[in-house]
């Protein structure tokens, strides 16, 4: 408790800054309902409650985007994570989240020099044959400089901003507290699972802070794609790479957002590039279960010979074998189409489906998939189909697991890139042969036999330990040490309400005791007086009045919150 108090005091200034930005952008009512305004006022801080009139006229998604940009790198990254949650947010919100960018100027080399000296073991001009002091690119977490090794290899040096880890950790602490409050005090936000979103975001951001982890991701994907000669992943130079810095080969090619340079005269076949890019990402998703989760044009380069290079593996997605099997069934159900299969997979994915009518949800999903019966693959838009499916789930306030939300975002981005290269590109037509191939491999006799053998081994191991487990269970039951844990939803909230009620009851008893005791003292002659009345009796009545006013105010505020909910 003491540690939490000290941390809260340390973060108080940042909390005031965050709440001030929220108020300026028209979210003062939310701040009040969270009870944070009272916390700041008790700490001696004050908030300006009048938002600018020009911001008040903006739509809520725009107001949220502007607030996130003003709050800095951590919150911008949080908004970028939310852009992948089409299952939770409607298209206007997703469109605004996708516009988020950090207006962070590049740091001069002198501000990085001491950290570089510690990480490289010397001055950058000495470690490298050439080091460009002007950054090639700058972002909220790191910035990139060009350099040349002594053997002549052209490289890029990615450097984490000094002190950014401490800033992000402080913001994550506050975000976790805000998410807990939001889930408890704002019922309309509960379907968005604020605490789960923040936990997912914290894991992703902490992983992204480790620049060596990005290189490990790159090497793993490079190994998975080694059989594709037209795919290039930058080589990592581990001699210079660590948590705060990484060094990779420089990629000289056409950026993914400069499509006008991909002309036949320059030797590029845009249809071939679209097909190769799609099949590559599909392979990493369906076969490998480890994929680039942010394949937007800024992370792609096109090279002579119709080769493709992918960079920046700070954000990756992982899919277990079970999840890949489910995904395979879903995609085959969409492109073939098979409505019952799609409905079954989606219902399995939505863990909170007990809150809605399953029959109605299944009927809507089957009606959605059924409309694509007999539609040629060349006319199907897989991205639009996935968008429509998430819209159905969003209507029923059902959220997908975070790994699947990231996956759907990657699919939608990928099809958009393919259409940018080739207007006649259709992800469904490209995906079906690979999906069929993976399905055949999945159910080949050798693969089935291997899974059956693994299942048999697990079953035999369970049977081997079953007598010991039963013996321990019966022994504990005989000794009266058998425990059954029952988890009741919202039990903590109910406990808090009972605790508050008990405190008010105790205060009422104190007030009654003060009134009775003061009345008795008033009848006693002698002793000090105040305004002609016995002093102790008079002060007792004053204390009873003050406590009574506090009790009335607490009851009124509690009922007021109940009305809001």
**What is the Cα–Cα distance from 101 to 98, expressed in whole angstroms?**
8
**What is the Cα–Cα distance from 303 to 314, expressed in whole angstroms?**
22
**What is the Cα–Cα distance from 122 to 118, expressed in whole angstroms?**
7
CA triple 284-285-286, angle to 5 deg? 105
Active site residues per annotation: 294
Q: How distant is the alpha carbon of residue 121 from its chain centre?
A: 36
In this structure, the number of other CB atoms found within 10 A of the CB of residue 107 comes to 14
Q: Which residues pair with 147 in a beta bridge?
A: 131, 155
Residue 160 has φ and ψ, to the nearest 5°, of: -75, 140
Helices (H), 57-162: 60-71, 73-82, 91-98, 109-120, 124-127
**What is the Cα–Cα distance from 328 to 431, expressed in whole angstroms?**
10
| Dihedral sign from CA coordinates of 148, 154, 160, 161 | positive
DSSP state of 236: B
Q: How far, in Å, are 63, 242, 244, 455, 456 from residue 461 at the CA level?
A: 57, 42, 44, 10, 9
**What is the Cα–Cα distance from 337 to 323, expressed in whole angstroms?**
20
């Amino acid at each position: 408790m003491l540690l939490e108090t000290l941390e809260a005091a340390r973060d108080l200034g940042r909390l005031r800054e965050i709440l001030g930005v929220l108020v300026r952008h028209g979210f003062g009512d939310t701040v009040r309902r969270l009870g944070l305004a009272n916390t700041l006022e008790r700490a001696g801080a004050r908030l300006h409650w009048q938002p600018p009139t020009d911001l008040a006229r903006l739509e809520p998604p725009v107001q949220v985007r502007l607030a996130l940009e003003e709050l800095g790198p951590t919150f911008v990254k949080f908004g970028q994570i939310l852009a992948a949650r089409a299952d939770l947010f409607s298209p206007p919100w997703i469109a605004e989240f996708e516009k988020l960018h950090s207006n962070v100027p590049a740091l001069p080399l002198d501000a990085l020099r001491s950290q570089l000296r510690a990480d490289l073991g010397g001055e950058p001009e000495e470690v490298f044959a050439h080091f460009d002091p002007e950054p090639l690119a700058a972002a909220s977490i790191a910035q990139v400089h060009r350099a040349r090794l002594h053997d002549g290899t052209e490289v890029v040096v990615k450097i984490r901003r000094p002190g950014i880890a401490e800033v992000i950790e402080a913001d994550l602490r506050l975000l976790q507290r805000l998410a807990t409050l939001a889930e408890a005090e704002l019922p309309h936000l509960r379907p968005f699972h604020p605490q789960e979103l923040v936990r997912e975001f914290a894991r992703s951001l902490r992983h992204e802070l480790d620049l060596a982890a990005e290189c490990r991701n790159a090497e793993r994907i490079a190994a998975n794609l080694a059989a594709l000669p037209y795919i290039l992943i930058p080589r990592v130079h581990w001699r210079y790479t660590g948590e705060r810095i990484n060094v990779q080969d420089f990629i000289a090619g056409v950026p993914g957002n400069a499509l006008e340079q991909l002309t036949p005269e320059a030797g590029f076949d845009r249809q071939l590039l679209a097909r190769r890019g799609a099949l590559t990402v599909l392979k990493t998703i369906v076969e490998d279960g480890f994929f680039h989760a942010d394949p937007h044009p800024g992370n792609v380069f096109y090279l002579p010979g119709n080769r493709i290079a992918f960079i920046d593996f700070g954000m990756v997605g992982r899919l277990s074998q079970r999840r890949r099997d489910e995904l395979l069934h879903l995609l085959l159900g969409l492109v073939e189409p098979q409505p019952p299969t799609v409905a079954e997979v989606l219902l399995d994915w939505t863990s909170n489906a007990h809150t809605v009518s399953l029959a109605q949800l299944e009927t809507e999903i089957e009606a959605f998939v059924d409309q694509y019966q007999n539609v040629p693959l060349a006319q199907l838009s897989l991205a639009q189909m996935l968008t429509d499916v998430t819209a159905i789930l969003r209507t029923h306030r059902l959220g997908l697991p975070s790994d699947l939300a990231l996956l759907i975002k990657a699919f939608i981005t990928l099809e958009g890139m393919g259409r940018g290269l080739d207007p006649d590109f259709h992800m469904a037509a490209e995906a079906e042969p690979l999906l069929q191939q993976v399905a055949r491999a999945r159910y080949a006799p050798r693969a089935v036999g291997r899974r059956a053998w693994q299942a048999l081994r697990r079953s035999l191991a369970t049977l081997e330990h079953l007598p010991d487990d039963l013996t321990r269970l019966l022994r504990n039951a005989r000794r009266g040490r058998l425990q059954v844990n029952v988890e009741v939803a919202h039990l903590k909230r109910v406990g808090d309400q009972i605790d508050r009620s008990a405190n008010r009851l105790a205060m009422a008893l104190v007030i009654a005791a003060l009134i009775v005791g003061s009345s008795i003292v008033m009848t006693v002659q002698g002793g000090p007086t105040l305004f002609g009345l016995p002093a102790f009796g008079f002060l007792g009545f004053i204390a009873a009045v003050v406590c009574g006013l506090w009790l009335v105010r607490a009851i009124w505020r509690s009922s007021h919150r109940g009305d809001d909910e």
